[in-house]
Structure 1
Amino acid sequence: VVLGHEAVGTIYKIGQKVKGYSLGDRIFVSHHVPCNVCEYCKSGYHTACDTLHKTNYYPGGFAQYIRIPKMNIKYGIHKLPAELSFEEGTFIEPLACAIRGQRIADVQKEDTVLIIGCGVSGILHTQLAKNKGTKRIIVTDINLYRLKIAKKFGADFTLDAKENIPEKLEEINEGKPANKVIVCTGATEAALTALKCVDKGGTILFFAVPDPTIKLPVPINQFWRNEITIKTSYGAAPNDLTKALKILSQKKLKVKDMITHRFSLSETAKGFKVMANAGKSLKVIIEPNQK
């Protein structure tokens, strides 16, 4: 099995029945695409579509060439404008996911947003919230390097996850928890922290979730009484991808600065190790045609 998604590249060959594209076109290809006709798609829940969970391209993105199936050609290809580099194009999908997540959580200018976990997703959420003019953005993580760069990308405050986050949060947020909490890591402790850091009438968005075997002790009576909402967000819909492409083309976010490592195809395993170890890394990309 060849893995890899968030793929961008140049069209090398075109099937006889494929229309609308030319050799040499620079494109982004979504690996999962919805059918756009089922009840879920029509209701706006594209990422719940059964087709989306079955579609893919072959092989995965860690290859010099991939074959794009009919469904992905129909719904998953986006041409890259001249002003958008291939490296910036690798952010289309993750940014689209963040756009969808913040729409679901209804992030507004007047919000105080706590972002738990500042890997690629957390930093994209930080930049996106900053771009909206969100009142206060607070980021927490166990990685001090990532906390440092979170400030560079728009976080107003950063908190070491080893500290008492609920207590520290209230110290910097006028004595209150956050009214929007976005969980961007699957660590169990992150999920538990989120449950303790949301204000009355607030919303927790699980953008990432713990292992399926983990059970979270949700204080349901307290949440019910205080009208706290838990929402989830998975993947991105076609419209989210279009919005992401527009935002990136307009250079509204500093995504190229998020790339810390670049590896050739033969160094893919090394890239995985760097990513798994975290350390002083953020966005790691594979360049299949580089030696």
Structure 2
Amino acid sequence: MRYVWGAFAEYVCCTPFSLKVLPKELPLIEGSLIEVLPGIIHAAELGDISPNKNVLITGQGVSGLVMTQVVSMFSPKNLVVTDIFDEKLALARKYGATHTYKMPHEHASTMDIVGADFPDGFDVVIPCLLEGDGMVDAINAAAQNGRIVMYGCIGTCHAPVDFFKVHKKRLDIFSTEPKRDIDNRRYFDEGLRLVLDGLVNTEEMITHVVPLAEVARAFQLRNEHKGDTIHVMIDCEVK
């Protein structure tokens, strides 16, 4: 299995080091989400999570739900997650979240919703939202001397980032992609083992399977952004 960029290309050029064969006993459709695990495991390690820390994960899409499963194994004091859909929050509770909060809309301030319960903010904040504005929200939600692990927030940021607040709070900010190939492969092996051992569920998040001939419908489903649509798979073998 490759973990290099390729999208829907028929062929991808890569080195043998970038290939990983999945076990035959693992259904290929369940193995599709393993590719997010290297960055997620690395993010959890960068968070330096321990039983005396409060952790916030914003967003419970595909990566956010996998992140919740992995972070819960690091035994945080409280694992708080947010999303705008009840269906995804229900899965998050099943996966180990101690507190779940429904956001009224995508651009709502997290501390406006959770601040009454966690007035001091969070020791570790892991935004799993695509848009860059989630980084502004993460800075506001981080506690004094906290750290932010940027799994998400890779899109355009339209809101101004208050770097003085970052300085005043003494925040540490980390990027999650492993920098060395050897680490990426090691995290891939660890993620595969978590799935095979039943500690991370990748099957439950697959809500739609669409044949390749209907690929346009697959993107339409994904872009509708509904609570009952999490991971849309394109099966090239289904007619």
- TM-score normalised by the chain length of structure 2: 0.86
How far has the Cα of 1:206 moved from its partner? 1.7
The partner residue of 1:139 within 67, 81, 86 is 81
Q: For residue 4 of structure 2, what is the aligned residue in structure 1?
A: 31
User: Post-superposition, which runs of at least 4 consecutive aligned residues in structure 1 deviate over 4 A?
Assistant: none
Aligned length: 231
Q: For residue 227 of structure 1, what is the aligned residue in structure 2?
A: 170
Larger Cα-atom Rg? 1
Q: Deviations over 1:209-262 (max 9, x none)?
A: 2534635322x3333233211222237822221211121121111221111111
Which amino acid in the other structure matches residue 281 of structure 1? T
Q: 1:213 to 1:111 in 2, by over 3 A?
A: closer
The partner residue of 2:204 within 253, 257, 282 is 257
> After the TM superposition, which residues 94-113 of structure 1 pair with which residues of structure 2 at under 5 Å, given as runs?
94-113=36-55
SS of corresponding position for 1:132: coil
> After the TM superposition, which residues 187-206 of structure 1 pair with which residues of structure 2 at under 5 Å, given as runs?
187-206=131-150
Which amino acid in the other structure matches residue 202 of structure 1? G
- TM-score normalised by the chain length of structure 1: 0.72
Which amino acid in the other structure matches residue 261 of structure 1? H
Q: For residue 238 of structure 2, what is the aligned residue in structure 1?
A: 290
Task: Determine if contact 1:166/1:197 at 8 Å carries over to the other structure.
Answer: yes
Q: Deviations over 1:90-132 (max 9, x none)?
A: 1111122211222223233332111111101110110101122
How far has the Cα of 1:278 moved from its partner? 1.8
Q: Tell me, in whole angstroms, the C-alpha distance in 2 between the residues paired with 1:168 and 1:209.
A: 20
Task: Determine if contact 2:126/2:148 at 8 Å carries over to the other structure.
Answer: yes
Task: Determine if contact 1:115/1:140 at 8 Å carries over to the other structure.
Answer: yes
Q: For residue 72 of structure 2, what is the aligned residue in structure 1?
A: 130
Q: For residue 122 of structure 2, what is the aligned residue in structure 1?
A: 178
Q: Tell me, in whole angstroms, the C-alpha distance in 1 between the residues paired with 2:101 and 2:236.
A: 37
SS of corresponding position for 2:201: coil
Q: Tell me, in whole angstroms, the C-alpha distance in 2 between the residues paired with 1:215 and 1:234.
A: 24
The partner residue of 1:155 within 91, 97, 116 is 97
Q: Tell me, in whole angstroms, the C-alpha distance in 2 between the residues paired with 1:114 and 1:157.
A: 9
Which structure has more RCO (C-alpha within 8 Å, separation ≥ 6)? 2
SS of corresponding position for 2:198: coil
Q: Tell me, in whole angstroms, the C-alpha distance in 2 between the residues paired with 1:87 and 1:167.
A: 39
Give the aligned CA root-mean-square deviation in angstroms.
2.3
Q: Which range moves more in the overlay, 123-132 or 107-116?
A: 107-116
List gaps (5 residues or longer) in structure 2. none
Q: Deviations over 1:130-161 (max 9, x none)?
A: 12222211111223332233222222111122
Which amino acid in the other structure matches residue 271 of structure 1? A
Which amino acid in the other structure matches residue 147 of structure 1? L
Q: Tell me, in whole angstroms, the C-alpha distance in 1 between the residues paired with 2:225 and 2:95.
A: 18
Q: For residue 193 of structure 2, what is the aligned residue in structure 1?
A: 246
Q: Tell me, in whole angstroms, the C-alpha distance in 1 between the residues paired with 2:154 and 2:103.
A: 17
Q: Tell me, in whole angstroms, the C-alpha distance in 2 between the residues paired with 1:185 and 1:153.
A: 18
Task: Determine if contact 1:169/1:176 at 8 Å carries over to the other structure.
Answer: no
> After the TM superposition, which residues 202-213 of structure 1 pair with which residues of structure 2 at under 5 Å, given as runs?
202-209=146-153, 211-212=155-156
Q: Tell me, in whole angstroms, the C-alpha distance in 2 between the residues paired with 1:114 and 1:83.
A: 35
Q: Deviations over 1:133-192 (max 9, x none)?
A: 22211111223332233222222111122365314434333x421111111112355322
The partner residue of 1:277 within 209, 224, 233 is 224
List gaps (5 residues or longer) in structure 1. 1-27, 33-55
SS of corresponding position for 1:139: strand
